[in-house]
Structure 1
């Protein structure tokens, strides 16, 4: 009986020793795994790393300022890792900046010719650009103005001292205005009273402040200000159709994010915002 008890005690001791050795080995393996950078926790317990923040630089026509500012808020709210940085200006000036290597991920122009120039120079892929929006040209006057201006010919009246237009060579709205005045044989006649602006928003500002009696702007710009009123809508047959193409710059370092925003701008959600600000969608 004593021998049986003794044998049982010895067996239990041996089992205990084996368990202790096994436990030490498991602990050692865990330490080794940790030192090698392998997490001991399960996959479900691993901490999710936030997506890397990306800044997208968007060069856009000045006339798109208000609509894009609203779109920016909605897009960033749903894409917390994206920061949209807008570079607003005259389409011609923005085109030149991109040609000279200025950083830009997307280009939104107020004229097809500026986008075509970048496509021709292989700075934008023809398959990654599209005509997104359309606009109209109008002539605005100060909201409290008393001048009777109802058509293009009225701009030649002696009481109209100053007419503001964008620089035709770099501002699409100015180029369209030149077309209109040329077709009416008034371009040369109005040179003495015209003042040129760096972009369409500056034209609007000249009229708002009374530094110009009238100015050529887009319908969308006129709708943003209560300091001006539309004197008349310019005959659409007297200038080329106003189209707004958008495109992805080939030099972008964030192709995936640029393509996602490019697609979003074509969504109904974005188009509804543009329409609210007076743009229309081409057929």
Structure 2
């Protein structure tokens, strides 16, 4: 009877550990770096913090490098020791897939492109952009939001007209900062960045879905640095629990 009781206690202990989200001893010693689009900063930071807390990991076991997707893609191509890549567009991910550097690629979340102005500035429509003195745009070569913005302006037939007034920024966070600080009169960012900025900026116009490529964020595992921790974190952020946190920041399921 005493032996049976001891076995029951032990089983309950094991179940309790599992319930607390413990992972294997091997995984507990692993580290990963995530290459993520700058617009994911708030959501992915919370996801990472929650995961580390649930699995009793140290802060340095999950590092996140936020930047423009093109810049991150170039770093991966050059051998940056990263295990996961979340791009703000499909183009940069496909370029890595073509080089056989990625696995388990799938849509992660979607977003919307909006035009913002300073909180105390006058709202402008997309058609009024030729009258704006300083339009802040992420570098279209490395920042998907900048490329989407250029697509909008091109479709409206005004890119050549407004290009002399365009000020380029390294990523959408920099665009948001420029507008909030009055260093620009209007800029293209994601809806999620506008939400995160609070009353620092105001949405002036929402771009139509047919004015630019779909804003789809794919996620994938980088083959060279694939490990158990990377796969478990990948599973967590794409789970219903992870998606709930992403939705809180304004993203929608991919």
With the length of structure 2 as denominator, give the TM-score of the two structures. Answer: 0.87
Map 1:165-184 → 2, pairs under 5 A = 165-184=137-156
Corresponding residue to 2:69 among 91, 96, 111: 91
- Quote the Cα distance in structure 2 between the aligned partners of 1:170 and 1:270: 27
- Quote the Cα distance in structure 1 between the aligned partners of 2:25 and 2:128: 61
Q: Which residue of 2 aligns with 1:133?
A: 109
Q: How far is 1:73 from its partner?
A: 1.3
1:173-215 deviations in Å (ceiling 9; x for gaps): 0010010000011111011111011111101011011000000
> 1 or 2, which has the higher helix percentage?
2
- Quote the Cα distance in structure 2 between the aligned partners of 1:109 and 1:81: 25
Q: Which residue of 2 aligns with 1:162?
A: 134
Query: Any stretches of 5+ residues in structure 2 without a counterpart?
Result: 1-9, 11-23
Q: How far is 1:144 from its partner?
A: 1.1
- Maintained 8 Å contact 1:111/1:242: yes
Q: Which residue of 1 aligns with 2:223?
A: 250
Q: Which residue of 2 aligns with 1:117?
A: 95
**Residue 211 (str. 1) matches residue 183 (str. 2):** yes
Query: Any stretches of 5+ residues in structure 1 without a counterpart?
Result: 1-43
Q: Give SS of 1:189's match.
A: helix
With the length of structure 1 as denominator, give the TM-score of the two structures. Answer: 0.78
Q: Which residue of 2 aligns with 1:273?
A: 245
1:13-67 deviations in Å (ceiling 9; x for gaps): xxxxxxxxxxxxxxxxxxxxxxxxxxxxxxx9xxxx9664322100000000000
- Maintained 8 Å contact 1:59/1:94: yes
Q: Which residue of 1 aligns with 2:40?
A: 64
Aligned residues: 228
